């Protein structure tokens, strides 16, 4: 009976911890108050009731570390990551941007890669409290945190986007802004195609994708890729097509071959999207 009571208390504390993790981004103060004052003490009490004080002395550090990793460390890392990107958008981006993204390609994606590595490092630290050579792992974590802070500070001004009035806007890490107005753009080419899954990447999959290529008069092409068929990506493309017509920019739509059309139809079905509207965008006969 005592063990069952402990399990019930632990289950309730986990439920509270999960609720705190979910609302962490919106209610960080309230979530932390509930987590540290109610949820965590309940979890500790439940473990003691389920086992005993003596066993908790031996295993408690590991149990608490695991609990904190999932319900505090992970939500905190995601909160900081989202806060950084939200802050960039508030400073640089207004509501007239149709598309906004990092401008430095693979370099701009290094932040995400470092963030994922940091999660793995924290996981190794908190999920294995009995791990040997903790000092080395702690040093690697601190070094990674310092690197990410420095790198994200350096790349804070790095972004690019498509603006309704200004045209193509890009800013490098130095904060140097470059703009290509719609008067300078000769044409926009919409190219639908099939992305084939990489055999070396088990998480990759074959899917319908497309890209928009902006061709300025005397500058190199600017390309925006749409890696998955989503409603937001399609609506952005529709908005760009409409804007091109308003600005008298030639908008060219590439033809789909039979295989591309089949993947297009399949992904529309899987995403539950409105076929007729997107057939019109890609100029495909509706059947």
Q: What's the rounded Cα separation, in Å, for the pair 235 and 194? A: 20
Which pLDDT score is estimated for 133?
Answer: 75
% of the chain residues with pLDDT over 90: 44
pLDDT of residue 100: 87
Q: Whole-number mean pLDDT of the chain?
A: 88
The two three-digit tokens of residue 269, written as one number? 């079905």
Q: Could you give the percent of the chain with pLDDT greater than 70?
A: 95
Note the pLDDT of residue 135.
80
Instruction: Say what the pTM is.
Output: 0.74
Categorize the per-residue pLDDT at 142 as very low, low, confident or very high, splitting at 50, 70 and 90. very high
Identify whether the C-beta of residue 166 lies closer than 8 Å to the C-beta of residue 181: yes
User: What is the band of 136 on the pLDDT scale with cuts at 50, 70, 90?
Assistant: confident
Q: What is the mean pLDDT of residues 225-231?
A: 89
Identify the pLDDT of residue 67. 92
Lowest mean pLDDT among 2-6, 78-82, 139-143: 2-6
Pairing of strands 177-180, 167-171: antiparallel
pLDDT in tens, 158-179: 889 999 999 999 988 888 889 9
> What is residue 132's predicted lDDT score, i.e. its pLDDT?
73
Per-residue pLDDT at 286 exceeds 80: no
- Mean pLDDT, to the nearest integer, of 251-274? 91
pLDDT of residue 155: 85
Q: Note the Cα 209 to chain centre separation in Å.
A: 18
Is residue 11 a contact partner of residue 50, using CB atoms and an 8 Å limit? Answer: no
pLDDT on residue 173: 82
pLDDT at residue 175 in the model: 83
Please state, in angstroms and as integers, the Cα–Cα distance from residue 148 to each residue in 80, 135, 210, following that order. Answer: 11, 20, 32
Burial of 235 (0-12, 13-18, 19+ CB in 10 A): middle
pLDDT band at 134; cut points 50, 70, 90? confident
Q: How confident is the model at residue 236 (pLDDT cuts 50, 70, 90)?
A: very high
Q: Give the tens place of pLDDT for each residue, 96-121.
A: 899 988 766 666 667 778 888 999 98
Q: Is the dihedral of CA 159, 162, 165, 166 positive or negative?
A: positive
Q: What's the rounded mean pLDDT across residues 239-267?
A: 92
Among residues 139, 81, 91, 75, the alpha carbon closest in space to that of 113 is found at 81
Q: What is the pLDDT of residues 30-56, one digit of tens each?
A: 999 999 999 999 999 988 888 888 888
């Amino acid at each position: 009976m005592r063990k069952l009571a402990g399990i019930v208390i632990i289950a309730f504390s986990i439920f509270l911890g999960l609720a705190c993790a979910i609302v962490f981004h919106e209610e960080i103060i309230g979530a932390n108050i509930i987590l540290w004052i109610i949820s965590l003490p309940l979890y500790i009490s439940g473990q003691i009731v389920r086992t005993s004080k003596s066993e908790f002395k031996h295993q408690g550090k590991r149990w608490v570390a695991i609990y904190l990793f999932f319900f505090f460390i992970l939500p905190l890392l995601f909160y900081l990551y989202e806060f950084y990107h939200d802050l960039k958008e508030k400073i640089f981006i207004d509501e007239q941007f149709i598309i906004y993204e990092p401008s430095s390609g693979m370099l701009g994606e290094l932040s995400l890669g470092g963030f994922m590595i940091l999660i793995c490092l924290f996981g190794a630290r908190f999920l294995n409290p009995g791990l040997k050579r903790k000092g080395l792992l702690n040093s690697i974590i601190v070094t990674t945190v310092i690197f990410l802070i420095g790198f994200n500070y350096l790349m804070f001004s790095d972004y690019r986007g498509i603006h309704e009035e200004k045209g193509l806007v890009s800013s490098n890490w130095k904060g140097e802004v470059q703009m290509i107005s719609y008067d300078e753009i000769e044409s926009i080419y919409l190219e639908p195609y099939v992305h084939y899954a990489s055999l070396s990447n088990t998480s990759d999959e074959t899917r319908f994708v497309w890209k928009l290529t902006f061709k300025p008069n005397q500058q190199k092409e600017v390309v925006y890729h749409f890696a998955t068929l989503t409603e937001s990506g399609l609506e952005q493309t529709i908005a760009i097509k409409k804007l091109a017509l308003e600005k008298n920019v030639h908008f060219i739509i590439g033809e789909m071959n039979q295989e591309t059309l089949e993947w297009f139809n399949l992904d529309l079905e899987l995403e539950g999207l409105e076929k007729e509207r997107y057939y019109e965008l890609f100029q495909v006969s509706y059947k």
